[in-house]
Amino acid sequence: MRHRRLVTAVVAAALGLSLAAAPASASSSSSPTGTRSLAAVLTADGNRFDRNWYDYDIVTEAVLAVLAAKPDSAVGVLTDGSVPLTAFIPNDRAFQVLAYDLTKRWPGTEQKTFAALVDAVGVDAIEQVLLYHVVPGATITKKQALAANGATLTTAQGGTIGVRVLSRWLGIVELKDQDRNDVNPVVNPRAFDINKGNKQVAHGIVFVLRPLDL
């Protein structure tokens, strides 16, 4: 228990949270009925790279690149808001960290980060990484996520993600991927329930989930 409290404090500090902060209000337990797709949400800001490393431009461009190269890809489910799913979407800084891990170089812009990832692994691998971030058939709200300690999620890629709730009070949820040597991603407590009220919901995460040991 002491170890968990220490980990929680470290994660909270990294996310800029105050340990005295009040928890966010829980989302409604009723099933969402809206049909706005996550693709519509991700492209709503004009679909462009910028200088904000903490939004979701790179994951947006990755989805578009996969669908351009492979129009029948399962990633296309993100464009159909009638299909329930939950996506864990890494921010742009998370992809910069992944690019460094793969190339041992820090790309200086979002566009260079995206190009480095495509050059390093190719579109097919990016497709698999994206699908590993999608849990099909379930709209997992913040309230449900914070009650899911110990759960195992099966992804659209076919792999699994473990859930460990470090703090329900602060809203800190750790996701255990298949790379045992990396730092496990956590959900940003300020980025739960993106597209709230719709069948497709997303939660922002601070590292990229890895479907294999890199």
pLDDT given for residue 5 in this prediction: 40
pLDDT given for residue 47 in this prediction: 83
Q: Enter the tokens of residue 32.
A: 């969402």
Q: What is the pLDDT along the chain (214 residues), one digit of tens a residue?
A: 433 443 343 344 333 333 333 333 333 457 899 999 999 999 998 889 999 999 999 999 999 999 999 999 999 999 999 999 999 999 999 999 999 999 999 999 999 999 999 999 999 999 999 999 999 999 999 999 999 999 999 999 999 999 999 999 999 999 999 998 889 999 999 999 999 999 999 999 999 999 988 6
SS (H, E, C) 60-116: HHHHHHHHHHCCCCHHHHHHCCCCCEEEEEECHHHHHHHHHHHHCCCCCCHHHHHHH
* Token pair 């890629």 in the structure block, residue: 157
CB atoms within 10 A of CB 204: 23
Q: Which amino acid is at 137?
A: G
Please state the length of the chain: 214
Closest by CA position to 118, among listed 171, 63, 184: 63
Domain ranges in the chain?
2-15+27-205
**First-residue to last-residue Cα distance in the chain:** 30
Q: 2-15+27-205 in CATH: which number? A: 2.30.180.10
* Token pair 């659209």 in the structure block, residue: 156
Decide if 141 contacts 162 (C-beta within 8 A): no
Decide if 213 contacts 100 (C-beta within 8 A): no
Give dist(CA 139, CA 160) in Å, integer.
17
pLDDT given for residue 46 in this prediction: 85
pLDDT given for residue 86 in this prediction: 98
